[in-house]
Amino acid sequence: MPKILITNDDSFEAKGLEILYEAMSEIGKPLVVAPASPKSACSKSLTITKPLMFKKVKENFYKLDDGTPDDCVYLAINEFFKDKKPDLIVSGINHGANMGEDVNYSGTVGGATEGAIHGIKSIAISQVLKSFDNPPSEINWKKAKKIAKEIALMVLENKIQLPHRKLLNINIPNTKKIKGYRFTKLAYRIYGNDAHKYLNPRGEEYYWLGLHPLKFKEEKGSDFWAVKNGYVSITPITLDITDYQLLEKLKNSEK
């Protein structure tokens, strides 16, 4: 059976992680290594300024104290897969969307990216919420589990072929009826400024970053368009972020 490494950025106690483990248990031998605390928006960060420690929660399930999703994947490969790398890495299921430029911030996508860096087939899965305060208990986890299992199988069986150092970013719509799958590009995310300044009891200023509403440019074929119209969005992502079109233009101006 294929060996599957699972991580997330919502912590080892997250409902989405539990559902993902159940799904992967039906198609392979999963091992969970997840952060001990929520690490949303930590992107692709690795911890290099302090030691990290695995703590066993139960059989084939570990938390990494103060570790990021990238830490989890990096250390798990070195500790638990010394002889053979996992056949698949799945990061999620995230409580909330990861679409458009948000993939640059996402710890969920970061965990999958670390897998791709090591040449392992990797996917990130996120469950879109109706609102930021939509609790995980209101999510149709049965549906999310089925989709996670289907896509993981397609990748393992090469029905979806992932070239070297590529990964998939999946977003599941929060709708009663899912129409199917769509392969998409990243949407154009519209950001605002939601930083709040306060005073602590000592009169010192501090800031708290807020949550932006999910606003995107309406463009057919994007991940946002697919999710909005009831489709599961599957977006291929590459590690090479070179802008080759601009590079050629710049080369023409070389002296």
Tell me, what DSSP letter sits at residue 100? G
If we measure between CA atoms, which residue out of 113, 108, 118, 63 comes closest to residue 87? 118
SS3 content of the chain, % helix, strand, coil (to 5): 30, 25, 45
Q: pLDDT means per 10 residues in the chain (255 residues)?
A: 97 96 98 96 94 96 96 97 96 95 96 97 94 62 96 97 96 93 95 87 90 83 95 97 94 85
Element (H, E) at 144: helix 141-156
- Is this prediction's pTM over 0.85? yes
Contact 222, 97 (CB under 8 A): no
Give the per-residue pLDDT at 137.
60
Q: What is the DSSP letter of 77?
A: H
- Asked: is 3-188+218-252 a CATH 3.40.1210.10 domain? The reply is yes
Give the number of C-alpha atoms closer than 13 A to the C-alpha of residue 230, restricted to the C-beta side. Answer: 6
Q: How far apart are alpha carbons 124 and 89 in whole angstroms?
A: 8
**SS3 assignment, position 116:** helix
d(Cα 21, Cα 15) in Å, to the nearest integer?
A: 10
Cis peptide before 120 (omega within 30 of 0): no
